[in-house]
Structure formats: C-alpha cells, structure tokens
Amino acid sequence: MAIPNIRIPSRQLFIDGEWREPVKKNRLPAINPATEEIFGDIPAATAEDVDIAVKAARRALGRDDWGSTTGAQRAKYLRAIAAKVLERRPELATLETIDNGKPWFEAASDIDDVVACFEYYADLAEALDSKKKTEVKLHLDSFKTHVFREPLGVVGLITPWNYPLLMTTWKVAPALAAGCAAILKPSELASITSLELGEICREVGLPPGALNILTGLGHEAGSPLVSHPDVDKIAFTGSGPTGVKIMTAAAQLVKPVTLELGGKSPIVVFDDIHDLDIAVEWTLFGCFWTNGQICSATSRLILQETIAPQFLDRLLEWTKNIKISDPLEEDCKLGPLISRGQYEKVLKFISTAKNEGATILYGGDRPQHLNKGYYIQPTVITDVDTSMEIWKEEVFGPVLCVKTFKTEEEAIALANDTKYGLGAAILSKDLERCERFTKAFQSGIVWINCSQPCFWQPPWGGKKRSGFGRELGEWSLENYLNIKQVTQYVSTDEPWAFYKSPSKL
C-alpha cells in the first residue's frame, strides 16, 4: 500500500467535547526523529487546564448522556470510534511514523490493533450489562446480598511515546467501556495521533467530557492530574522513576494506581531449539522491534554455551541484514529513536559497557549512510558481567547483551537476576523444560518459543519494579470498576434482637 502524503493537523486541547486553547496559550514543538526537523506543534496544558478538564469529566458522570448509559449504549460509541480509526488508518499510521519514528508498516499494524481493541471492549461493555448486578449466596436466609459493578469515576490516563495511539487505546477503551470519564495525558514526545483520537470522538458524538485530552509536559500537566483531589484513579505506563513519583503523589490521597513500568527481560535459548534461524529471528524481534523501544524487550540473551559460537555467528548475519532507513521507506525494519535525549542516553549505555570491559560485537554507533536523525545501529554486546550497567538497567534502544550458561539452574538464576519482572522468553524443544521455566520466571508474561507477541485478550503487566495491575483483557476493564456490596435484610417482620427492647407502656 502506498504511504500517503498528508497534512499535519494543528489541534488545541480536547476538553468537554471541544477544542480549547490552553489557558496560558503555550505550545510545544513536534520533532520528526528521522529528520530532526520541527513538523508541527502541540498545545501545552498546565494545572489550570487540568482543573477545567476534571470539572468537565465530573459533569459528564452526572449527565444522562454518559453517566447513566448502559454498556450496550457505550459499546455503540466504541464501535463508532473503531470504524473511524479504520477509515483513517493510512493517515494515522503516517502521522505516527512522522511523530514517533517507528517503521510505517509497524505503525499501520498498531492502528489495526487500535481498531480491534476498541471493538473488543465494545463487546465487554455489552457483556457488562448482564454482570452489573451479581447475587452472592449467603449462609443466612434473612439477608440477600449482591455485588454492584459501577464506573470508578474520573480517571487519569498517562501514556508513553513508544506506542502513542495503541497505548492510549489500552487505557481509553476499557475506561470508556466501564463508563468512567477519562482525562488522557499522552507523552509530549509523541502526541499527534492521541489528539486525532479527540477529533474522532467529536465526529462520532461521544458525549462531552467523557474523554478529555491534555497534551503537555509531565511536570506541568501530568503532575497536577495525578494530585488532583477529584481524580479517582491513575493508570500510568512509562519509566520506573516517574512511576515512583506518581505512586508517591497518589498515596497522599490514597488514590488507586496501576503501573506498567520498565523491564529488562531475558530470553533463554537452549541447544535443542527447533531451528537455528527461527530462534535467531525471534531473538532479534524480541529486542529490535519498534526500534528497540519496548518496555518488555527481551534485551538479555541467555544462551547455552554449547551453541553460542554458531548462534552468534548467525545472529550477526541476520543483524547486518536489517534495513535501517527513513521509517517511511518501504521495507524499513529499524527507524530512529524518539528524541535526541534518548539517542544520547542509549549511546552512553553502549560506551559505558565498553568501558566496563564488554565487547561491542556489532553496531554501537550511527549507521554510516544516515547523517541525520536519531539512528543507532542494532547493537550486540558480549563479554557481559552481571555487575555491568548494560545487564542491570533498561536501555530502551536496539541493544542486546549476551551471557552464556551451562545448566538450567544457572539459566534461571541469570534470568531472574533483575529488579524488573515484566516479560521472559524461553526457546527450547523440550516442553517440560519450558513448563519448569514458566514457573521459575519471576515475570508477569512468559513467551515459549517466541518473543513479544501481544494480543488484546490476555492480561499484560509485570511484577517487582515493572509495576502492578494488569491491562488488556477483562482484567483491564476491572481496573475501572468499583465493586459495591449491597446487602438487604429481608426478614423485615422479625426483630434483629441484638438489643433488649424497652418495656412497652
């Protein structure tokens, strides 16, 4: 499919169903990471705009056109949004690529997932009607109890830049399906398609205030959203340090949070793999997909030493064959990193690894044919010690570090030698071994003979410093529901008889 030439839209903040200029009229530049050029700008919200959006969301919950809707009614809005996104797929994918730097075919695939995710939560919204009131059996006949599922309220959704519209959808779709009113704060590094979601919501007639979109800097817009007393919950995907700040601020109001934070995931490869090339490709995909900017990236290759030489030889052949180019070019498989700051951070990780004694087996620098843009070659690092920064810290770039092992016990110890616990992968023909590793991995996600496939039906999330709570599937819908116990005394003709009755005159 030909990639379209498009006009870059200029938007304001999306509040109460309308485009609204920020109170302080500030805007931020939008930079194409492939060219380092400013291609547009986005509005920069501050605490004043947050307060306006929160009030709009609170009003939406009090009106019949949103606050009193059934799941079936909300499902119609979600399906209408999905249809509009699908209609604009080529344009949205191009905007995503220009704004984020990921290869166009990856961006287009993300848009497909956005459509499917909205449709999936439309189905769950409909199903919620039959589950809204659920009876609970008791041991006493004099009482009846049911559980009532209701929207949690006004929710703040803070999303990252690596999957701008898709990560937005992972939060917006279940929040709306549950009947909450949401305030979205996307990353200032990639907000264009999230703003376009506002236009789509306006076009399909989503009731005012049901979804509000505030772009801007974290400390100017995100922090006031987290600490606002009328925001009932925060859902955040992003870095560990920011997650700590959000959790600390939310704790002051005893506000619930769900956190999907960083990762340093292992991929363990045994010498009984089905096919060397298949294993090599999964290893590359697990680390270099989305330009290596994946929280769940299996960036620690733990390789059985009996096959290490031939595996690494083949890995290098495949790595050298990866097409690095402008992400709008056909067959691009690796584009630029998101920003100059991220580019310099990743290069520093590589330099530190080399200074600590590791070997840069391949890559580690800018591709020679690209003198502009935030490009870094796919990088493979060997001779890694577990004390090194490259082994311990999340790089968030196309960097794979390698260690070898002899025994299963050693492999498990290496895999779990991390403060993170998001994903883990094992490649082996022995399915009983795979089952042992599934139980042993300290992670929220396990991949067997693959790495990184992601679907909207199963849960997604981690443990340890990768955060807590689950997104996707029915688990995500539960994040946005309040569970209310309702108990009724049905033996109204009989006294409770706990206190002694006063004498009757």
Contacts of 342 (CB under 8 A, 6+ apart): 293, 374, 396, 397
Structure tokens at 277: 């090339």
Residue 105 backbone zone (phi > 0: left; psi -120 to 50: alpha; other: beta)? alpha
SS3 371: coil
Residue at token pair 């290893």: 283
Phi, psi of 330 (to 5 degrees): -65, 140
Contacts of 327 (CB under 8 A, 6+ apart): 34, 97, 101, 102, 103, 104, 107, 335, 336
Residues 121/177, Cβ–Cβ less than 8 Å: yes
Residue at token pair 């605490």: 47
Cα separation of 502 and 500, whole Å? Answer: 6
Name which of 298, 228, 304, 299 is nearest 273 in CA terms: 304
Q: Which residues pair with 380 in a beta bridge?
A: 362, 400
Structure tokens at 137: 């059996």
C-alpha distance from residue 255 to each of 172, 218, 491 (Å):
19, 19, 38
Q: How many Å is the maximal CA-CA distance in the chain?
A: 102
- Which helix (H) or strand (E) segment is 193 a member of? helix 192-204
How would you label 161-199 residue by residue, b for 16+ Cβ within 10 Å and e otherwise? bbbbbbbbbbbbbbbbbbbbbbbbbbbbbbbbbbbbbbb
Residues 410/305, Cβ–Cβ less than 8 Å: no
**Residues with catalytic annotation?**
260
C-alpha distance from residue 209 to each of 58, 83, 124, 157, 394 (Å):
8, 21, 22, 14, 37
